[in-house]
Protein backbone atom coordinates (compact mmCIF):
# COMPACT_ATOMS: atom_id res chain seq x y z
CA UNK A 1 0.00 0.00 0.00
CA UNK A 2 1.39 3.37 -0.98
CA UNK A 3 1.60 5.88 1.82
CA UNK A 4 1.22 9.66 1.45
CA UNK A 5 3.12 11.58 4.07
CA UNK A 6 3.00 15.14 5.30
CA UNK A 7 6.78 15.29 5.64
CA UNK A 8 9.51 13.59 3.68
CA UNK A 9 10.37 10.18 5.10
CA UNK A 10 7.48 10.20 7.58
CA UNK A 11 4.41 8.00 7.35
CA UNK A 12 2.80 9.54 10.40
CA UNK A 13 3.17 13.28 10.62
CA UNK A 14 3.18 14.06 14.31
CA UNK A 15 2.64 17.67 15.15
CA UNK A 16 3.64 19.09 18.53
CA UNK A 17 3.88 22.56 19.95
CA UNK A 18 7.35 24.12 19.54
CA UNK A 19 9.51 23.13 22.47
CA UNK A 20 6.89 20.85 23.97
CA UNK A 21 8.09 17.67 25.67
CA UNK A 22 7.26 14.25 24.27
CA UNK A 23 3.78 13.14 25.25
CA UNK A 24 2.17 9.75 25.69
CA UNK A 25 -0.23 8.56 23.01
CA UNK A 26 -3.22 9.28 25.24
CA UNK A 27 -2.09 12.92 25.32
CA UNK A 28 -2.32 13.39 21.58
CA UNK A 29 -5.26 13.12 19.23
CA UNK A 30 -4.79 10.57 16.45
CA UNK A 31 -6.51 11.30 13.14
CA UNK A 32 -6.46 8.72 10.33
CA UNK A 33 -6.93 10.13 6.83
CA UNK A 34 -7.53 7.97 3.74
CA UNK A 35 -7.40 9.90 0.46
CA UNK A 36 -6.52 9.20 -3.17
CA UNK A 37 -3.10 10.63 -3.94
CA UNK A 38 -2.58 8.24 -6.88
CA UNK A 39 -4.96 6.72 -9.41
CA UNK A 40 -7.92 8.26 -11.25
CA UNK A 41 -8.94 10.43 -8.28
CA UNK A 42 -5.50 11.91 -7.59
CA UNK A 43 -6.60 15.32 -8.91
CA UNK A 44 -8.98 15.43 -5.95
CA UNK A 45 -6.83 13.74 -3.32
CA UNK A 46 -3.60 15.67 -3.89
CA UNK A 47 -5.19 19.08 -3.09
CA UNK A 48 -6.79 17.51 -0.01
CA UNK A 49 -3.39 16.27 1.12
CA UNK A 50 -1.72 19.58 0.27
CA UNK A 51 -4.21 21.54 2.35
CA UNK A 52 -3.01 19.64 5.42
CA UNK A 53 0.06 21.91 5.28
CA UNK A 54 -2.15 24.70 6.59
CA UNK A 55 -4.13 23.02 9.37
CA UNK A 56 -3.44 23.36 13.13
CA UNK A 57 -0.67 21.37 14.78
CA UNK A 58 -2.63 21.28 18.01
CA UNK A 59 -6.17 22.00 19.15
CA UNK A 60 -7.19 22.80 22.70
CA UNK A 61 -3.57 22.48 23.78
CA UNK A 62 -3.39 18.86 22.60
CA UNK A 63 -1.02 17.86 19.74
CA UNK A 64 -2.51 16.28 16.64
CA UNK A 65 -1.04 13.14 15.10
CA UNK A 66 -2.05 12.77 11.45
CA UNK A 67 -1.69 9.44 9.67
CA UNK A 68 -2.29 9.81 5.93
CA UNK A 69 -2.68 6.77 3.68
CA UNK A 70 -3.30 6.59 -0.06
CA UNK A 71 -6.30 4.52 -1.19
CA UNK A 72 -5.73 5.18 -4.95
CA UNK A 73 -9.49 5.62 -5.41
CA UNK A 74 -10.09 1.94 -4.64
CA UNK A 75 -12.85 1.10 -2.12
CA UNK A 76 -11.03 -2.10 -1.10
CA UNK A 77 -7.88 -0.13 -0.31
CA UNK A 78 -9.94 2.49 1.54
CA UNK A 79 -11.46 -0.29 3.65
CA UNK A 80 -8.00 -1.69 4.44
CA UNK A 81 -6.68 1.75 5.36
CA UNK A 82 -9.58 2.41 7.69
CA UNK A 83 -9.23 -0.94 9.42
CA UNK A 84 -5.58 -0.07 10.03
CA UNK A 85 -6.63 3.21 11.60
CA UNK A 86 -8.92 1.25 13.90
CA UNK A 87 -6.69 -1.65 14.88
CA UNK A 88 -3.13 -0.31 14.57
CA UNK A 89 -3.39 3.44 15.07
CA UNK A 90 -6.26 3.46 17.58
CA UNK A 91 -7.56 6.57 15.82
CA UNK A 92 -9.76 9.02 17.67
CA UNK A 93 -11.09 10.50 14.41
CA UNK A 94 -11.15 9.24 10.80
CA UNK A 95 -11.36 11.34 7.61
CA UNK A 96 -11.84 10.42 3.97
CA UNK A 97 -12.01 9.68 1.27
CA UNK A 98 -12.12 12.06 -1.70
CA UNK A 99 -14.56 10.23 -4.03
CA UNK A 100 -17.97 8.77 -3.29
CA UNK A 101 -17.24 4.99 -3.51
CA UNK A 102 -14.19 5.17 -1.24
CA UNK A 103 -15.94 7.47 1.21
CA UNK A 104 -18.73 4.93 1.56
CA UNK A 105 -16.09 2.30 2.35
CA UNK A 106 -14.41 4.49 4.98
CA UNK A 107 -17.74 5.40 6.57
CA UNK A 108 -18.84 1.77 6.78
CA UNK A 109 -15.75 0.73 8.75
CA UNK A 110 -15.80 3.83 10.96
CA UNK A 111 -19.41 3.20 11.91
CA UNK A 112 -18.73 -0.45 12.62
CA UNK A 113 -15.86 0.56 14.93
CA UNK A 114 -17.64 3.50 16.57
CA UNK A 115 -15.15 6.19 15.52
CA UNK A 116 -16.18 9.70 14.42
CA UNK A 117 -15.84 10.09 10.65
CA UNK A 118 -15.70 13.20 8.49
CA UNK A 119 -16.39 12.48 4.81
CA UNK A 120 -14.46 14.48 2.23
CA UNK A 121 -16.70 13.60 -0.74
CA UNK A 122 -20.47 13.68 -1.23
CA UNK A 123 -21.84 10.27 -0.26
CA UNK A 124 -25.19 8.76 0.74
CA UNK A 125 -25.56 8.49 4.51
CA UNK A 126 -28.04 5.76 5.27
CA UNK A 127 -29.11 4.48 8.69
CA UNK A 128 -26.07 2.21 8.97
CA UNK A 129 -23.70 5.17 8.42
CA UNK A 130 -25.62 7.90 10.22
CA UNK A 131 -24.42 7.53 13.80
CA UNK A 132 -20.71 8.28 13.42
CA UNK A 133 -20.42 9.99 10.02
CA UNK A 134 -20.86 13.60 8.99
CA UNK A 135 -20.02 15.00 5.56
CA UNK A 136 -17.97 18.09 4.70
CA UNK A 137 -18.82 18.64 1.00
CA UNK A 138 -22.07 20.17 -0.08
CA UNK A 139 -24.84 17.65 -0.60
CA UNK A 140 -26.04 16.90 -4.12
CA UNK A 141 -29.53 18.38 -3.50
CA UNK A 142 -28.04 21.74 -2.40
CA UNK A 143 -25.74 21.95 -5.42
CA UNK A 144 -28.26 20.48 -7.83
CA UNK A 145 -31.00 22.95 -6.99
CA UNK A 146 -28.97 25.99 -8.03
CA UNK A 147 -28.21 24.33 -11.38
CA UNK A 148 -31.83 23.42 -12.05
CA UNK A 149 -32.95 26.93 -11.11
CA UNK A 150 -30.49 28.34 -13.64
CA UNK A 151 -31.85 25.94 -16.26
CA UNK A 152 -35.41 27.09 -15.61
CA UNK A 153 -34.41 30.75 -15.71
CA UNK A 154 -32.87 30.16 -19.15
CA UNK A 155 -35.92 28.37 -20.58
CA UNK A 156 -34.30 24.94 -20.69
CA UNK A 157 -36.78 22.09 -20.86
CA UNK A 158 -34.79 19.04 -21.97
CA UNK A 159 -31.50 17.88 -20.42
CA UNK A 160 -29.06 15.19 -21.48
CA UNK A 161 -26.92 13.56 -18.82
CA UNK A 162 -23.45 12.04 -18.89
CA UNK A 163 -21.81 10.95 -15.67
CA UNK A 164 -19.80 8.34 -13.83
CA UNK A 165 -21.02 4.75 -13.84
CA UNK A 166 -20.73 4.60 -10.05
CA UNK A 167 -22.41 5.96 -6.94
CA UNK A 168 -21.51 9.60 -7.70
CA UNK A 169 -23.22 9.34 -11.07
CA UNK A 170 -26.22 7.67 -9.40
CA UNK A 171 -26.53 10.50 -6.88
CA UNK A 172 -26.93 13.06 -9.65
CA UNK A 173 -29.42 11.04 -11.70
CA UNK A 174 -31.52 10.42 -8.60
CA UNK A 175 -31.40 14.08 -7.60
CA UNK A 176 -32.45 15.20 -11.07
CA UNK A 177 -35.48 12.95 -10.83
CA UNK A 178 -36.28 14.19 -7.32
CA UNK A 179 -35.81 17.94 -7.90
CA UNK A 180 -35.58 18.83 -11.58
CA UNK A 181 -38.43 16.71 -12.93
CA UNK A 182 -41.01 18.34 -10.60
CA UNK A 183 -39.69 21.69 -11.84
CA UNK A 184 -40.68 20.72 -15.40
CA UNK A 185 -37.29 19.53 -16.69
CA UNK A 186 -36.95 16.26 -18.61
CA UNK A 187 -33.89 14.02 -18.92
CA UNK A 188 -33.93 12.93 -22.55
CA UNK A 189 -30.80 10.77 -22.56
CA UNK A 190 -28.63 9.22 -19.83
CA UNK A 191 -25.07 8.16 -20.62
CA UNK A 192 -22.38 6.81 -18.29
CA UNK A 193 -18.61 6.31 -18.32
CA UNK A 194 -16.02 4.86 -15.95
CA UNK A 195 -13.57 7.07 -14.07
CA UNK A 196 -10.48 5.69 -15.88
CA UNK A 197 -12.00 6.01 -19.38
CA UNK A 198 -10.05 8.08 -21.88
CA UNK A 199 -12.83 8.47 -24.45
CA UNK A 200 -16.57 9.16 -24.32
CA UNK A 201 -17.03 9.43 -28.08
CA UNK A 202 -19.90 6.94 -28.28
CA UNK A 203 -21.83 8.53 -25.42
CA UNK A 204 -21.32 12.03 -26.80
CA UNK A 205 -22.58 11.03 -30.25
CA UNK A 206 -25.82 9.82 -28.67
CA UNK A 207 -26.19 13.03 -26.68
CA UNK A 208 -25.58 15.25 -29.68
CA UNK A 209 -28.09 13.21 -31.70
CA UNK A 210 -30.70 13.67 -28.96
CA UNK A 211 -30.03 17.45 -29.10
CA UNK A 212 -31.25 18.41 -25.62
CA UNK A 213 -31.46 22.06 -24.61
CA UNK A 214 -28.63 21.51 -22.10
CA UNK A 215 -26.35 18.76 -20.83
CA UNK A 216 -25.46 17.98 -17.22
CA UNK A 217 -22.10 16.31 -16.52
CA UNK A 218 -21.97 14.24 -13.32
CA UNK A 219 -18.20 13.77 -12.97
CA UNK A 220 -15.31 15.06 -10.88
CA UNK A 221 -11.68 16.07 -11.09
CA UNK A 222 -9.90 16.17 -14.42
CA UNK A 223 -12.21 13.50 -15.87
CA UNK A 224 -15.03 16.06 -15.88
CA UNK A 225 -13.21 17.82 -18.73
CA UNK A 226 -13.46 14.74 -20.96
CA UNK A 227 -17.17 15.04 -21.91
CA UNK A 228 -16.94 18.85 -21.85
CA UNK A 229 -14.27 18.78 -24.55
CA UNK A 230 -15.86 15.98 -26.57
CA UNK A 231 -19.25 17.68 -26.65
CA UNK A 232 -17.81 20.92 -28.03
CA UNK A 233 -15.63 19.08 -30.53
CA UNK A 234 -18.76 17.29 -31.82
CA UNK A 235 -20.48 20.62 -32.31
CA UNK A 236 -22.86 20.72 -29.38
CA UNK A 237 -23.90 24.38 -28.94
CA UNK A 238 -26.17 24.23 -25.90
CA UNK A 239 -25.35 25.03 -22.29
CA UNK A 240 -23.21 22.49 -20.44
CA UNK A 241 -23.56 22.23 -16.66
CA UNK A 242 -20.88 20.83 -14.37
CA UNK A 243 -21.13 19.85 -10.72
CA UNK A 244 -18.94 20.95 -7.81
CA UNK A 245 -16.91 17.79 -8.42
CA UNK A 246 -15.31 19.63 -11.35
CA UNK A 247 -14.50 22.83 -9.45
CA UNK A 248 -10.74 23.01 -9.92
CA UNK A 249 -8.40 25.16 -11.94
CA UNK A 250 -7.26 21.96 -13.67
CA UNK A 251 -10.70 21.70 -15.28
CA UNK A 252 -10.01 24.93 -17.19
CA UNK A 253 -6.45 23.90 -17.98
CA UNK A 254 -7.50 20.56 -19.48
CA UNK A 255 -10.76 21.60 -21.15
CA UNK A 256 -9.16 24.74 -22.63
CA UNK A 257 -11.42 26.72 -24.93
CA UNK A 258 -14.16 24.10 -24.48
CA UNK A 259 -14.60 25.28 -20.88
CA UNK A 260 -15.82 28.71 -22.01
CA UNK A 261 -19.42 29.32 -20.98
CA UNK A 262 -19.75 26.27 -18.73
CA UNK A 263 -22.15 26.69 -15.80
CA UNK A 264 -20.74 25.16 -12.62
CA UNK A 265 -21.97 24.90 -9.06
CA UNK A 266 -19.09 25.31 -6.64
CA UNK A 267 -18.22 26.00 -3.05
CA UNK A 268 -17.37 29.55 -1.92
CA UNK A 269 -13.68 28.58 -1.71
CA UNK A 270 -13.42 28.96 -5.49
CA UNK A 271 -14.15 32.70 -5.39
CA UNK A 272 -14.05 34.22 -1.90
CA UNK A 273 -12.91 37.54 -3.40
CA UNK A 274 -16.35 38.05 -4.97
CA UNK A 275 -18.27 37.34 -1.77
CA UNK A 276 -19.86 40.10 0.28
CA UNK A 277 -17.85 41.17 3.31
CA UNK A 278 -20.73 39.90 5.45
CA UNK A 279 -20.30 36.33 4.14
CA UNK A 280 -18.94 34.16 6.96
CA UNK A 281 -17.11 31.97 4.45
CA UNK A 282 -15.09 34.86 2.99
CA UNK A 283 -12.33 35.15 5.62
CA UNK A 284 -11.44 31.42 5.88
CA UNK A 285 -11.60 31.13 2.09
CA UNK A 286 -9.20 34.01 1.57
CA UNK A 287 -6.91 32.63 4.27
CA UNK A 288 -6.67 29.17 2.71
CA UNK A 289 -6.32 30.38 -0.87
CA UNK A 290 -3.57 32.86 0.02
CA UNK A 291 -1.54 30.18 1.81
CA UNK A 292 -2.25 27.48 -0.78
CA UNK A 293 -1.42 29.58 -3.83
CA UNK A 294 1.70 31.00 -2.18
CA UNK A 295 3.05 27.46 -1.84
CA UNK A 296 1.55 25.66 -4.83
CA UNK A 297 1.31 28.44 -7.38
CA UNK A 298 -1.13 31.05 -8.63
CA UNK A 299 -4.58 29.76 -9.55
CA UNK A 300 -4.00 26.40 -7.84
CA UNK A 301 -7.02 26.73 -5.55
CA UNK A 302 -9.37 23.76 -5.40
CA UNK A 303 -12.79 22.80 -4.13
CA UNK A 304 -11.16 19.71 -2.62
CA UNK A 305 -8.43 21.52 -0.71
CA UNK A 306 -11.27 23.36 0.99
CA UNK A 307 -12.82 20.13 2.25
CA UNK A 308 -9.79 18.85 4.15
CA UNK A 309 -8.96 22.35 5.42
CA UNK A 310 -12.54 22.72 6.65
CA UNK A 311 -12.38 19.43 8.53
CA UNK A 312 -9.90 21.08 10.87
CA UNK A 313 -11.89 24.31 11.03
CA UNK A 314 -14.69 22.10 12.34
CA UNK A 315 -12.38 20.30 14.75
CA UNK A 316 -11.29 23.64 16.24
CA UNK A 317 -14.83 23.87 17.57
CA UNK A 318 -15.48 20.21 18.23
CA UNK A 319 -12.33 19.03 20.02
CA UNK A 320 -12.29 21.61 22.86
CA UNK A 321 -15.88 20.68 23.65
CA UNK A 322 -15.03 16.97 23.73
CA UNK A 323 -11.93 17.56 25.89
CA UNK A 324 -14.14 18.97 28.64
CA UNK A 325 -15.54 15.49 29.32
CA UNK A 326 -13.00 12.90 28.13
CA UNK A 327 -9.37 12.24 27.22
CA UNK A 328 -8.07 11.22 23.77
CA UNK A 329 -7.58 7.54 23.17
CA UNK A 330 -10.77 6.50 24.97
CA UNK A 331 -14.25 5.45 23.81
CA UNK A 332 -15.60 8.30 25.91
CA UNK A 333 -13.62 10.82 23.87
CA UNK A 334 -14.91 9.40 20.60
CA UNK A 335 -18.47 9.61 21.93
CA UNK A 336 -17.87 13.19 23.06
CA UNK A 337 -16.67 14.08 19.56
CA UNK A 338 -19.81 12.50 18.08
CA UNK A 339 -22.04 14.46 20.42
CA UNK A 340 -20.18 17.72 19.73
CA UNK A 341 -20.88 17.37 16.01
CA UNK A 342 -24.52 17.80 16.92
CA UNK A 343 -24.32 20.27 19.79
CA UNK A 344 -22.02 22.86 18.20
CA UNK A 345 -23.83 25.25 15.84
CA UNK A 346 -22.86 27.76 13.15
CA UNK A 347 -19.42 26.25 12.63
CA UNK A 348 -17.80 28.59 10.09
CA UNK A 349 -15.47 27.22 7.41
CA UNK A 350 -14.34 28.10 3.90
CA UNK A 351 -17.05 26.06 2.17
CA UNK A 352 -20.03 26.80 4.36
CA UNK A 353 -21.47 27.10 7.85
CA UNK A 354 -22.17 23.72 9.48
CA UNK A 355 -25.20 22.84 11.60
CA UNK A 356 -25.36 19.06 11.86
CA UNK A 357 -28.20 17.25 13.58
CA UNK A 358 -29.01 13.60 14.26
CA UNK A 359 -30.99 13.54 11.02
CA UNK A 360 -29.04 16.02 8.89
CA UNK A 361 -25.50 14.69 8.50
CA UNK A 362 -24.60 17.23 5.79
CA UNK A 363 -25.36 20.33 7.84
CA UNK A 364 -25.07 22.99 5.12
CA UNK A 365 -27.45 25.52 3.62
CA UNK A 366 -27.43 27.92 0.66
CA UNK A 367 -24.41 29.76 2.11
CA UNK A 368 -22.31 26.83 0.90
CA UNK A 369 -22.78 27.32 -2.83
CA UNK A 370 -22.00 29.75 -5.61
CA UNK A 371 -22.58 29.58 -9.35
CA UNK A 372 -19.62 30.09 -11.69
CA UNK A 373 -18.94 30.25 -15.38
CA UNK A 374 -15.69 30.39 -17.36
CA UNK A 375 -14.92 33.57 -19.30
CA UNK A 376 -11.60 34.18 -21.04
CA UNK A 377 -10.08 31.21 -19.23
CA UNK A 378 -11.09 32.34 -15.74
CA UNK A 379 -13.89 31.52 -13.29
CA UNK A 380 -16.31 34.38 -12.82
CA UNK A 381 -19.76 34.54 -11.19
CA UNK A 382 -22.50 33.24 -13.47
CA UNK A 383 -25.60 35.26 -14.21
Distance separating alpha carbons of residues 86 and 92, to the nearest angstrom:
9
Contacts of 40 (CB under 8 A, 6+ apart): 73, 195, 196, 221, 223
Helices (H), 30-74: 42-50
pLDDT digit of tens for each residue in the chain (383 aa)? 444 444 333 333 333 333 333 333 458 999 999 999 999 899 999 999 999 999 999 999 999 999 999 999 999 999 999 999 999 999 999 999 999 999 999 999 999 999 999 999 999 998 888 999 999 999 999 999 999 999 999 999 999 999 999 999 999 999 999 999 999 999 999 999 999 999 999 999 999 999 999 999 999 988 999 999 999 999 999 999 999 999 989 899 999 999 999 999 999 999 999 999 999 999 999 999 999 999 999 989 999 999 999 999 999 999 999 999 999 999 999 999 999 999 999 999 999 999 999 999 999 999 999 999 999 999 999 98
pTM for the full predicted model: 0.86
Q: By the 8 A CB rule, do 174 and 216 touch? A: no
Domains of the chain: 12-138+288-367 (3.40.50.2300), 140-266 (3.40.50.2300)
Distance separating alpha carbons of residues 89 and 76, to the nearest angstrom:
19
Q: By the 8 A CB rule, do 311 and 120 touch? A: yes
Instruction: Give the three-class secondary structure for 71.
Output: coil
Contacts of 335 (CB under 8 A, 6+ apart): 114, 326
Helices (H), 136-200: 140-153, 167-175
Instruction: Give the three-class secondary structure for 344.
Output: coil
Angle at 222 between CA 35 and CA 283, to 5 degrees: 70
The sheet with strand 158-164 has its strands ordered as 186-193, 158-164, 214-218, 239-242, 263-266, 370-375, 378-381
Amino acid sequence: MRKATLAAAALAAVFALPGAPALAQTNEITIGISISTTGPAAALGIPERNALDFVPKEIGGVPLKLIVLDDAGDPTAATTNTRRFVTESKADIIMGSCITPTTIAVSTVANEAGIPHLGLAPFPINEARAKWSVDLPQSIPIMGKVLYEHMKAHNIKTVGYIGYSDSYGDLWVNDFKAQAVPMGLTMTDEERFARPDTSVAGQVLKLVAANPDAILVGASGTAAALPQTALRERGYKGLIYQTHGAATMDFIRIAGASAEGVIMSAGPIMSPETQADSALTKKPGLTLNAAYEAKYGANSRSQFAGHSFDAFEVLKRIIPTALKTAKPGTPEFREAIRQAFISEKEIVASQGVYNWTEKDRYGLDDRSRILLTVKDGKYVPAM
